[in-house]
A and B are shown apart, each in its own frame.
Chain A
Amino acid sequence: MAERLRDRVSAVWPPTAALLGLFALLEIAVALGWTPITIPAPSAVAMEFGQSGADLAYHIVPSITATVAGLAIAATLAATLAGIGASWRRANGPVMTFGVLVDSTPLIAVAPILIVFVGGGMTLHIIVSATACFFPLLIGMSRGFRAVEATADELFHVLAASRWQRLVKLALPSALPYIFSGFKIAAPLAVLGTLIAEWMGAERGVGIMMIYAMFSFNAPQVWMTIVAVCLMAIGGYGAFALLERAYLRWAGLEEAPT
């Protein structure tokens, strides 16, 4: 136990020291006036969090809502399509082609067409967010749905397992690792999708707050919103990582190396 702790500490301290060193360097550079006005000291950004924290909270709520809704819609769609692809072999090719098409379409190019049809509100944010995170979910799910080992499948067949038992005891455990890794990639992308959609126009949202701060040349506030978005993305990733760990512990499986 002590050894594990020591391992963890020795893995954590070099990046922490590097990060603190960079912060200190930046702080000194700003104090000496080396940096342009657009690069504020880390302490100024931290102060900005204190000063306009209420504003940030006001703007971040719809962003989180749109991200969660987008992720949920994309997950539902991906699960449906991957399910079709897994159960009907001939549909798999077109499903994957569709996924690649969606993935390589420049969002910024399609968004104006969407604006024409659904307007620039919450609906747009949710749709763009869902589009941004769709592809990794599709890949994760369609890999997961066919991850069942042939020998295990035969064993279940020989033991006359019911459909339900197959689903819960065979298909789900072998699919979940892939699905979790899909979600871990998709969550930050959904945040990015929401952000891009909000840049195009919103009443409330971190993206529009960032744009206003940029237009009023309020450098600390721009930095603050960027940090907030990054925290949202890390939070999304972390939530699914924690969920995965909880599941693995509950199922009594080894922790997968990340």
Chain B
Amino acid sequence: MTSPVDTTVDTPDWRALPTRGQRAEARLAAFWRFISRVALGVGILVALWGGAIALFDVPIFVAPGPLDTWQAFVEQGDRLFGALGFTLTGVAIGLALAVAIALSLGVIFTLSAPASRAFMPLVIGLRTVPVLAVAPLLIMIFGRGQGTTVATVVIVGFFPIMVNAMRGFRSVSPTVHELFHVAGATWWQLLIKARIPFALPFFFTGLRVATTSALLSAMLAEWLSGAPGIGRLIYDALGYRDMPLMFAAVALSMATAFTIFGLATALERRLAR
């Protein structure tokens, strides 16, 4: 009564598979397609902007055209990039601190059930709250310098990283857990060899979310505190009605934000696999 078992394994023909070179070429082509599409979008936007300025004859102290903005960008490039560098330094320090704090707390909460039961609902509840609202308070505490920027980035970046890392630590599948238990692994081995590898994709998601909101929060903190970053520069330029400089700073910060967003998303996609 045994039916003949089909023993042929479905092997793909290796000659039909793309080689590494072909795959790299395809990826490169996709990259150039993406770049050209972005360039086209920016080009259309700039053309519309210049056209509108020229058509309605908008004076330069209301809104400058693309050419004036570019001129300001070239003339005051040092100032713009100096301010941007200041902001990005704050963002980087803040994110590093946020990762350190979030991961250590995440490990503690994962290992200790009572701590998790007592504090996790509070952490989850704080997630619905707009944490950026504490920026004025941080200015009062940390003064008007880089400290406020760092503290704001830490507070904003902490929650997504920690919540995602916790979810990752918990995502160890029960069979793996049992295997480790049967093999007599210590909690340390379980953490290093199972929990952390399982948590990595979640962790990168958290990091992406944190990174994209970090620039906005840093600029906001600078603008309120008066630290010499790009957020302050935009408002100083607005105050002096130096519109070309303001538009250049806005364009630079938007480009930075999109770059960071794109890099973080791409990094997440590569590392989370």
Contact = CB atoms under 8 A, between A and B. Distances in A.
B130 A192 contact: yes
A170 B269 CA distance: 35
Contact of A222 (B137, B238, B247, B257): B137
Nearest to A231: B129
B254 A109 contact: yes
Given A192-B130, A195-B130, A226-B133, A219 B246 contact: no
Interface in A178-198: 188-189, 191-192, 195-196
Contact of A192 (B132, B219, B249, B254): B132
Contacts of B4: none
* Chain B: interface size category: 35 or more
Interface stretch (A15-23, A75-83, A146-154): A15-23
Contacts of A108: 216, 219-220, 223, 231, 234
Interface in B195-233: 212, 215-216, 219-220, 223-224, 231
Q: Secondary structure of the B side of the interface? A: helix
A111 to B, nearest CB: 9
A47 to B, nearest CB: 18
A237 interface: yes
Contact of A14 (B117, B128, B129, B247): B117
Contact of A18 (B122, B129, B137, B231): B122
Interface residues of A, number: 44
B235 A233 contact: no
Contacts of A116: 62-63, 238, 243
Interface string B101-144: 00000000000001001111110010011101110110111000
A226 B129 CA distance: 10
Contacts of B128: 188, 233-234, 237
Given A115-B238, A222-B140, A17 B118 contact: yes
B122 A19 contact: yes
Interface in A108-128: 108-110, 112-113, 115-117
Contact of B250 (A112, A210, A222): A112
A104 B132 contact: no
Contacts of B257: 104-106, 109
B129 A214 contact: no
B50 to A, nearest CB: 15
B180 interface: no
Contacts of A112: 234-235, 238, 246, 250
A249 to B, nearest CB: 22
Contacts of A233: 128-130
Contacts of A145: none
Nearest to B127: A188
B149 interface: no
B261 interface: yes
Interface hub of B119, B125, B133 (most chain A Cβ within 10 A): B133
A11 B136 CA distance: 34
Contact of B140 (A17, A104, A219): A219
Nearest to B142: A38
Contacts of B223: 108
A234 B129 CA distance: 6
Given A214-B139, A226-B134, A106 B224 contact: no
A223 interface: yes
A15 B119 contact: yes
Nearest to A101: B258
Contacts of B139: 214
Given A112-B234, A112-B238, A115-B238, A106 B253 contact: yes
A50 interface: no
A104 B258 contact: yes
B216 A189 contact: no
Interface of B: 62-63, 114, 117-122, 125, 128-130, 132-134, 136-137, 139-141, 212, 215-216, 219-220, 223-224, 231, 234-235, 238, 243, 246-247, 249-250, 253-254, 257-258, 261
Interface of A: 11, 14-15, 17-19, 36, 38-39, 100-101, 104-110, 112-113, 115-117, 188-189, 191-192, 195-196, 199, 210-211, 213-214, 217, 219, 222-223, 226, 229-230, 233-234, 237
